[in-house]
Structure 1
Amino acid sequence: ARRVCTLPVPAVAAPARRPPLALSELERRVVLDVLNSPRFANCAPAAIHAQLLDEGRYVASVSTMYRLLQGCAAVRERRDQLRHPEYAKPELLAVVPNQVWSWDITKLKGPVRGTCFHLYVILDIFSRYVVGWMAAEQESAELAEQLIADTAAKEDIMPGTLTLHADRGSSMRSKPVATLLSDLGIAKSHSRPYVSDDNPYSEAQFKTMKYQPGFPARFGSLADARAHCASFFTWYNQQHRHSGIGMMTPESVHTGRAAEVRKQRQATLADAFQRTPNRFKHRMPQAQKLPTAAWINPPTTEKKAA
Structure 2
Amino acid sequence: MLGYSISDHISAEMVSLAIDGAVAARGGGCRDTILHPDRGGEFTAHLTAQACSRHGLRRSMGATGVCWDNSPAESFWSTFNHEEYYRHVYATKAELVAAMDKWIRFYNSGRRHSSIGMLSPDAYETSLSVAA
| TM-score normalised according to structure 1 size | 0.38
Relative distance call for 1:243 and 1:151 in structure 2 (3 A) is same
Mapped pair 1:157 → 2:29:
yes
Deviating above 6 A after TM superposition, structure 1's stretches of 4 or more consecutive aligned residues are: none
Q: Which residue of 2 aligns with 1:179?
A: 50
Is the alpha carbon distance of 1:220 and 1:166 closer, same or farther for their aligned partners in structure 2, counting shifts above 3 Å? Answer: same
Counterpart of 2:12 (choices 141, 153, 156) is: 141
Percent identity between matched residues is 24
Amino acid in the other structure paired with 1:157? G
The 8 Å contact of residues 10 and 42 in structure 2, kept in 1 or not, is answered as yes
Asked if the contact 1:248–1:258 (Cα under 8 Å) also holds between the matched residues in 2, the reply is no
Partner Cα distance (1:241, 1:164) in 2: 23
8 Å CA contact 1:137–1:222 kept in 2: the answer is no
What's the offset of the Cα at 1:167? Answer: 0.1
Whether contact under 8 Å (1:132, 1:147) holds in the other structure is yes
Q: Which has the larger radius of gyration?
A: 1
Structure 2 unaligned segments of length 5 or more: list them: none
Deviations 1:194-217 (A, max 9, x none): 221010110111121122277336
CA distance in 1, matches of 2:29, 2:129: 23
* Residues 141 and 177 in structure 1, CA contact (< 8 A), matched pair in contact too: yes
Residue equivalent to 1:208: 79
Aligned to 2:93: 222
Q: How many residues are matched? A: 130
Q: For 2:122 and 2:3, how far apart are their aligned partners in 1?
A: 13
Counterpart code for 1:191: G
Q: Whose strand proportion is higher, 1 or 2?
A: 1
Report if aligned partners of 1:141, 1:176 keep a CA contact under 8 Å in 2.
Answer: yes
How well do the aligned residues superpose, as a CA RMSD in angstroms? 2.7
Residue-by-residue CA offset, 1:151-207 (whole Å, 9 max, x unaligned)? 224423354x22211001121111111122233332211132222101011011112
- Cα distance 1:176–1:245, how it changes in 2: closer, same or farther (>3 A)? same
Larger fraction in helix: 2
Superposed CA deviations along residues 90-138 of structure 1, whole A, max 9, x for unmatched, are: xxxxxxxxxxxxxxxxxxxxxxxxxxxxxxxxxx4xxxxxx32232333
The residue number in structure 2 matching 1:4 is none
Please state whether the residue corresponding to 1:190 is helix, strand or coil.
Answer: coil
Write the distance in 1 (CA, Å) between the matches of 2:93 and 2:84. 20
Structure 2 counterpart of 1:198, one-letter code = D
Q: Which amino acid aligns with 2:43?
A: M
What pairs up with 1:62-211 in 2 under 5 angstroms?
Answer: 124=1, 131-155=2-26, 156-157=28-29, 159=31, 161-211=32-82
Unaligned runs of 5+ in 1: 1-123, 125-130, 261-289, 291-306
8 Å CA contact retained: 1:136, 1:222: no
Letter of the aligned partner of 1:172 in structure 2? F
